[in-house]
Amino acid sequence: MAEPCIKVDQLRVIYNKGKSNEVRSLDGVSVEIYPEEYIIIYGPSGCGKSTLLYGISGLQAPTFGDVVVLGKNLAQMTKRETVEFHQTSIGMVFQAFYLIETLTVLDNVCLPKVFRGEDLKPRREAAMELLRRFGIAEQAERFPAQLSGGQKQRVSIARALVNNPEIILADEPVGNLDSESAQNVLDIFKEINDVDKKTLIMVTHNPEHLVYADRIIHMKDGKKVSEEINHDKRPKEALIKEVAATPEEISSELKLLMRTFKNLSLQQVGVLLIPFKAKQLLAHIISELNEEQIGAAENLLKEFLFKNIDKPALSEKLDLDFDKGGAGWNKLRAMSFTERTGRILAQAEALNGDQDTGVISFCDYLASVYHLKLDDEVMLRFRAFIKLRVENRIDRFGLEQRLDAPKRLGGAGLYKGSAEKVVREIELVMLLKYSA
Ligand code: ADP
Ligand code: MG
């Protein structure tokens, strides 16, 4: 898992400190942002969103606290480093565009390159390419006053990208646009994140924008109230890929979740994990359904994990046609799926009870599902290995090695394929058993 590219630690920004009109714009905000994330900073007007964004950009110096971007503490940069940072590491987009009215569109986009002293020809080419990409090449020789709001914002996005920075910061970028232009700009941001892999931080107070984010930082009164992972963002194709998700993906995603949720209570984490649990459980069992059938089943599974529906209802709804609110499977598959789900969840529950008994029953279960032929001695080892993993004293690789190693070397002597499958199911059960 990558390191954060932005670390904001206990950031406070206080205006008019010590005076009667003192304002705590930011009151101890800590946030970590990872490369290629699409982050939305969300909250009501005046809650400190812009101040946080400007803190990250280095335009606003902290009263207290630290901001580290791409490994550098902004407060400790020399003037020269700060200039370099603004030119090459971050690109900014504002609600009010801030284009220079006396320069053409093309020259506005070239401006950050002019500051870097680059040659005229390549810099005009780079700028033109961005204008073409955003559908405003024809406006290249016009002046900002001749453009619509949406076009101006596309120019300012091109300007933010022209030096190819890793991080794009946008403060209410569609706040001044009509809905069609706003959509166009939001589509561009999505592409910059998805295709160009830029880390993107957008400030907004519009709840309709939240669907675009990987993670949402909720703010109020100068404080971060919570962080939320947007589980619905991922497109259906990603779901299909996840059917073949490897155990590594399960555990690294879990790690990300844990890290992101460290400021929430355990109970909140438990609830937030349910959609993720549903996805992983489904991915584990399903192989040959279409996207629609998988999507519908995932929703049903969430309902089941939230205990809104029981096992018989889950089975019935999986079998039911789409137009009747079902997942369009067939009876046999629906029954065997529900059965399997129930058995897996029972293992997770057993492990949450008395651990020794839980481990013994879990091992018997694994041996039966995966047709493992273990003699008494190997069964004891098998249990000891699983116990180590359940207690988190070894990681999944350590477990797989032990299961795979030959009996005479102290391992469980499983075939490689079996060891992999068993480990994968154990990781899933560990996720499922995680609760507040
Ligand atoms: P948001 O972007 O969420 O609307 P801001 O970060 O712009 O909020 O502002 C947060 C708070 O700080 C507001 O109460 C605002 O009035 C105050 N504030 C922002 N800039 C200044 C300033 N230069 N002087 C005094 N107060 C300020
Ligand atoms: Mg603002």
- Our CA angle for 132, 134, 137, nearest 5°, is 35
Higher-confidence position of 83 and 244? 83
Question: Which pLDDT score, from 0 to 100, does residue 385 have?
Answer: 95
What is the distance in A from the centroid of ligand 1 to the CA of 47?
A: 7
Q: Is the CB of 45 under 6 A from ligand 1?
A: yes
pTM summary value: 0.58
Q: Are strands 64-69 and 38-42 parallel, antiparallel or unpaired?
A: unpaired
Q: Which residue's C-alpha comes closest to atom 24 of ligand 1? A: 15
Q: Average pLDDT for residues 109-121, to the nearest whole number?
A: 82
CA dihedral (408, 411, 414, 416) in degrees, to 10, reads -110
Nearest ligand 1 atom to the CA of 45 is 4
Q: Average pLDDT for residues 110-123, to the nearest whole number?
A: 81
Would you identify the CATH topology of the domain 6-241? Answer: Rossmann fold (3.40.50)
Q: Which residue's C-alpha comes closest to atom 11 of ligand 1? A: 25
What is the residue-averaged pLDDT of the chain?
A: 87
Q: Give yes or no for residue 286 having a pLDDT over 80.
A: no
Question: Which pLDDT score, from 0 to 100, does residue 431 have?
Answer: 87
What is the distance in A from the centroid of ligand 2 to the CA of 50?
A: 4
Q: Which residue's C-alpha comes closest to atom 1 of ligand 1? A: 46
Percentage of the residues of the chain whose pLDDT score is greater than 90 = 61
Residue 22: nearest ligand to its CA? 1
Question: Which pLDDT score, from 0 to 100, does residue 125 have?
Answer: 92
Q: Which residues make Cβ contacts (< 8 Å) with residue 263, sequence separation at least 6? A: 30, 224, 226, 227
Q: Are strands 38-42 and 215-220 parallel, antiparallel or unpaired?
A: parallel
pLDDT in tens, 295-333: 899 899 989 998 899 999 999 999 999 888 899 998 988
Q: How confident is the model at residue 278 (pLDDT cuts 50, 70, 90)?
A: confident
Neighbours of ion ligand 2 (CB under 5 A): 50
Question: Which pLDDT score, from 0 to 100, does residue 315 have?
Answer: 95
Q: How many CB atoms lie within 10 A of CB 248?
A: 12
pLDDT in tens, 173-215: 999 899 999 999 999 999 999 999 999 999 999 999 999 999 9
Residue 171: nearest ligand to its CA? 2
Q: Minimum mean pLDDT among 194-198, 290-294, 353-357: which range?
A: 290-294
Tell me the C-alpha distance between 72 and 256, whole Å. Answer: 23
User: What is the Cβ-side half-sphere exposure of residue 117, based on CA atoms within 13 angstroms?
Assistant: 1
Q: Which residues make Cβ contacts (< 8 Å) with residue 166, sequence separation at least 6? A: 5, 35, 70, 89, 90, 198, 199
Domain ranges of the chain: 6-241, 275-432
Higher-confidence position of 205 and 232? 205
Among 113, 121, 150, which residue's Cα sits nearest to residue 134? Answer: 150
What is the distance in A from the centroid of ligand 1 to the CA of 52?
A: 10
What is the distance in A from the centroid of ligand 1 to the CA of 24?
A: 8
Residue 96: nearest ligand to its CA? 2
Nearest ligand 1 atom to the CA of 26 is 10
Tokens of 425: 């199911």
Residue 14: nearest ligand to its CA? 1
Q: How confident is the model at residue 436 (pLDDT cuts 50, 70, 90)?
A: very low
Question: Which pLDDT score, from 0 to 100, does residue 239 have?
Answer: 34
What is the distance in A from the centroid of ligand 2 to the CA of 118?
A: 33
Q: Average pLDDT for residues 370-391, to the nearest whole number?
A: 93
Tokens of 331: 């009876």
